[in-house]
Amino acid sequence: MTGSAPPLLEVRGLRKTYGDRVVLDGLDLAVDTHEVVCLIGASGSGKSTLLRCVNLLESVDDGRVLLDGREVTDPTVDPRDVRRDIGVVFQAYNLFPHLTALDNCTLAPVRVHGVPRSEAVDRARGLLDRFGLAAQADVHPDRLSGGQQQRVALVRALCTQPRLLLLDEITAALDPELVGDVLELVRAEAEAGMTMLLATHEMAFAREVASRVAYLHQGRVLEIGPPAQVLGDPTEEATRRFLRRVLPERPPGAPA
């Protein structure tokens, strides 16, 4: 973590199972305000489940999630109140097909946050323009490319002015030529100070953008630290094995 202020997000001893399968096994993690933490790890390591638990889309079996010091996993807490402070973008764009790009982006600010429609429209149009989508504002999702739909999904999340942005492998479903455009937009939000927790398989992007990289293994954060350390000179053998599989070259410090 950076600085002495309490973390914006704190996960303590989080446990989640599906039947006999343990997905999160006492996971601990903290994210400071304005920090970008990238989650890496093999499929099934718990990255997506962690994000869904933070946003209260999944119930937890044990442990706590705190947002700005408030325990949001307390059963008395209304998940809708929590989600007002959290934006989320998944692999699937999940845009409403019957709404235009603009209406997709203004729905939550107006319906959930009580923002006047004129203000919500101005904010959404400004973001759509910034993301290169001004001409697509009145277009329905089925007329947009995959990259355009994912950018609209990002705009939709940002239109609620979240304190925390969760991104779950948002380039996984995109054609390779579209990945760079979407990641560049995420990079710009990181540089503007947005607090992010994101799962990614783009190691080069994690190296460039992350404040810290967390390697998840068997439902726990096995290793966490600056990108240069975790991706370049990992201390854990499991991290080294994972990076040998996903990086084009053996990371420095890894045994031959």
Separation CA 153–CA 199 (nearest Å): 16
pLDDT (mean) for 65-80: 93
For position 4, what pLDDT does the model report?
A: 66
In a domain, 49, yes or no: no
**From the centroid of its chain, how far is CA 169?**
8
Same domain, 21 and 107: no
Q: How far apart are CA 118 and CA 125, in angstroms?
A: 11
With tokens 């989650």, the residue in question is 39
| Percent of the chain at pLDDT exceeding 70 | 95
Q: Do 190 and 154 belong to one domain?
A: no
Strand pairing class (86-89; 164-168): parallel
What are the residues facing 221 on neighbouring strands?
Answer: 216
Instruction: Report the pLDDT value the prediction gives residue 252, as an integer from 0 to 100.
Output: 53
Q: What is the pLDDT of residues 187-235, one digit of tens each?
A: 999 999 999 999 999 898 999 999 999 999 999 999 999 999 999 999 9
**Domain presence at residue 55:** no
Q: Which amino acid is at 177?
A: E
pLDDT band of residue 253 (cuts 50, 70, 90) is low
Check residue 181 and give its pLDDT: 83
Domain that holds residue 105: 96-162
Residues 166 and 55 sit within 8 Å (Cβ to Cβ): yes
The answer to whether residue 52 sits within a structural domain is no
Q: Are the beta carbons of 256 and 250 closer than 8 angstroms?
A: yes
pLDDT digits (tens, 9 = 90+) for 162-190: 999 999 988 887 777 778 888 888 899 99
pTM, full prediction: 0.90
Domain-located, residue 71: yes
- The alpha carbon of 71 is separated from its chain's Cα centroid by a whole number of angstroms, namely 20
The pLDDT of residue 1 is above 70: no
What's the domain count of the chain?
A: 2
Is pLDDT of 256 > 50? no
What integer is the mean pLDDT of 110-130?
95
On average, the pLDDT of the chain sits at 91
Closest of 173, 211, 171 to residue 191, by C-alpha? 211
Task: Provide the residue count of the chain.
Answer: 256
Same domain, 170 and 248: yes
